[in-house]
Amino acid sequence: MYPDALADLEHRLRSNYGAADATVLAAIPALLAKAVHADPAFRERVLRLAVTAVVGHASAYPEDLEPNWERTWRQSLSTVLTLVEHEYPQVRRMAVFLLSDASYHADDVCRALRTRWLDEPEPMIRLTILHTVGALLRHVEQGSRKELFEWLSGLTHPAGSEIALAASLALRGLGRQ
């Protein structure tokens, strides 16, 4: 059943040029929950679909889908945060990227990613964490900004490294608030 349902959702996304409709958004939480313990090929396929939906949502007409989008995140957040700690680096990276549009939960997501930063051994995933935090900073409550500022400021040295550049870009976004 899942492969057929997944193929249908992938077809819907392709037909809408990558923009998720209400049906795709409604299916994402169940698919992500299934993907946590699924076969790696299925897991990656589900994550690709979810990432495509996130990217498509950002470029589509979000005001039409906003109620569905908020519900999707409310139902998916704990699952995606579980996938951020998955054993396979490619799953962790896709899950971190997926969080870049979790604006309704920006404080919780930034806190979780800051904690994940300490245990993440992969440099590319660390960069993705910084990019995701940078994307969410405009949605973070004022009380969390000081903590994030201090953390990101500490990552800007040594100057010239990719990590320092990503932290500086995130801080620049924080400074525009």
Question: Is 166 a residue whose pLDDT tops 60?
Answer: yes
Please tell me the distance from the alpha carbon of residue 98 to that of residue 115, in angstroms, as a whole number.
17
Give yes or no for a contact between 69 and 22, defined as CB atoms under 8 angstroms apart: no
Q: Do residue 4 and residue 53 come from a single domain?
A: yes
Q: Do residue 169 and residue 106 come from a single domain?
A: yes
Domain that holds residue 154: 102-177
pTM for the full predicted model: 0.84
Please tell me the distance from the alpha carbon of residue 104 to that of residue 177, in angstroms, as a whole number.
17
Instruction: Indicate whether 173 belongs to any domain.
Output: yes
Residue 108 in tokens: 């919780």
Q: Do residue 173 and residue 133 come from a single domain?
A: yes
Exposure class string for 52-86: b at 16+ Cβ within 10 A, else e: bbbbbbeebeeeebeebbeebbebbbebbbebbeb
Instruction: Indicate whether 81 belongs to any domain.
Output: no
Residue 22 in tokens: 């209400």
Structural domain ending residue among the three candidates 41, 76, 111: 76
Domain tally, the chain: 2
Instruction: Indicate whether 89 belongs to any domain.
Output: no
Q: Do residue 166 and residue 112 come from a single domain?
A: yes
Q: Residue 47 — very low, low, confident or very high, per pLDDT cuts 50/70/90?
A: confident
Give yes or no for a contact between 113 and 166, defined as CB atoms under 8 angstroms apart: no
Give yes or no for a contact between 29 and 79, defined as CB atoms under 8 angstroms apart: yes
Report helix, strand or coil for 88: coil
Q: Do residue 16 and residue 51 come from a single domain?
A: yes
Q: Do residue 6 and residue 57 come from a single domain?
A: yes
Instruction: Indicate whether 51 belongs to any domain.
Output: yes
Helix (H) and strand (E) counts in the chain:
9, 0
Give yes or no for a contact between 14 and 56, defined as CB atoms under 8 angstroms apart: no
Q: Do residue 67 and residue 123 come from a single domain?
A: no
Query: For position 131, what pLDDT does the model report?
Result: 92
Query: For position 27, what pLDDT does the model report?
Result: 83
Exposure class string for 92-109: b at 16+ Cβ within 10 A, else e: bbbbbbbbbbbbbbbbbb
Q: Do residue 54 and residue 114 come from a single domain?
A: no
Q: Do residue 72 and residue 109 come from a single domain?
A: no
Rg (CA), the chain: 16
Q: Do residue 110 and residue 52 come from a single domain?
A: no
Digit-coded pLDDT (tens) for 102-147:
888 999 999 999 999 999 999 999 999 999 999 999 899 988 888 8
Instruction: Indicate whether 86 belongs to any domain.
Output: no
Q: Do residue 45 and residue 116 come from a single domain?
A: no
The residue among 55, 48, 57, 45 whose CA lies nearest residue 21 is 57
Residue 27 in tokens: 């299916």
Instruction: Indicate whether 95 belongs to any domain.
Output: no
